[in-house]
Structure 1
Amino acid sequence: MGNNFSVDTGELGDFMRTLKKAHESLEEVRNQMNQVTSDRMGTTDLDQACNDFQEHWKYGSEQIAEQTKKLTESVSKTKDNYEEVERSLEEVFKKATGRAGPT
């Protein structure tokens, strides 16, 4: 079972960077939407529909951004933990090999 388990920390790092970029993009979209006003879009109904959409999108994008940030932090911690385990195992194997001496 242990022979089939492996973790590619480089891939975890790439995933983490992708999540961070997604979070930054969502923040940028939310900031831009806050600067748009619908009072010049057209009819009262269209203006209200645009305001409703913006309010729903704002809430949804805030939630997505928050969860993306939390996931990014979790992936970062996981990556760090795997790298620490790899370093520790490497040290243990080096010590074990050094103690064993020539065969």
Structure 2
Amino acid sequence: MDRDLRVDTDQLGRFSRALDRSLTSLSEARHALAHIRADQLGTKDLDTACDGFQQRWKYGADQLRESIASVRDGVTLSHKGYLQVDTAIEAAFRAVAPRG
């Protein structure tokens, strides 16, 4: 049974960048929602519902942002670590390669 550990460092880099983009998108969405005032939307009931949604959305978005940032930090750290290992292995092979 093949049990090789293979890591696609390019894919890790792309994943880290995708997580960065998701954080940016989340921040942009929060910023856009923050500029909408409930009293601009219509009835008093709708205004009240929108105010409640804004408060819940802010809390949820903040929690999601923290989770995404933690995952992004871990992926970025892993990516850098694997690149360092790849570089060290390549250097070791070059050092023992026959010169000819």
Normalising to structure 1: TM-score of the pair? 0.86
More displaced stretch, 60-69 vs 49-58 = 60-69
Q: Does 1:65 align with 2:65?
A: yes
SS of 2:47's partner is helix
Per-residue deviation, residues 8-51 of structure 1 (Å, max 9, x unmatched)? 10000110111100000000010111110011322222111111
- The count of residues paired between Structure 1 and Structure 2 equals 100
Q: Equivalent residues in 2 for 1:17-96 (5 A)?
A: 17-96=17-96
C-alpha distance in 2 between matches for 1:62 and 1:23: 10
Per-residue deviation, residues 47-94 of structure 1 (Å, max 9, x unmatched)? 111110111011111111122122212111110000001111111222
CA RMSD of aligned residues (A): 2.0
Q: Which residue of 2 aligns with 1:10?
A: 10
Displaced runs of 4+ in structure 1, greater than 3 A? Answer: none
- Deviation for aligned residue 1:7: 0.5
Unaligned runs of 5+ in 2: none
Normalising to structure 2: TM-score of the pair? 0.88
Unaligned runs of 5+ in 1: none
C-alpha distance in 1 between matches for 2:85 and 2:36: 49
C-alpha distance in 2 between matches for 1:81 and 1:56: 38
Aligned partner letter, 2:15: F
Bigger CA radius of gyration? 1
Identity of aligned residues (%): 34
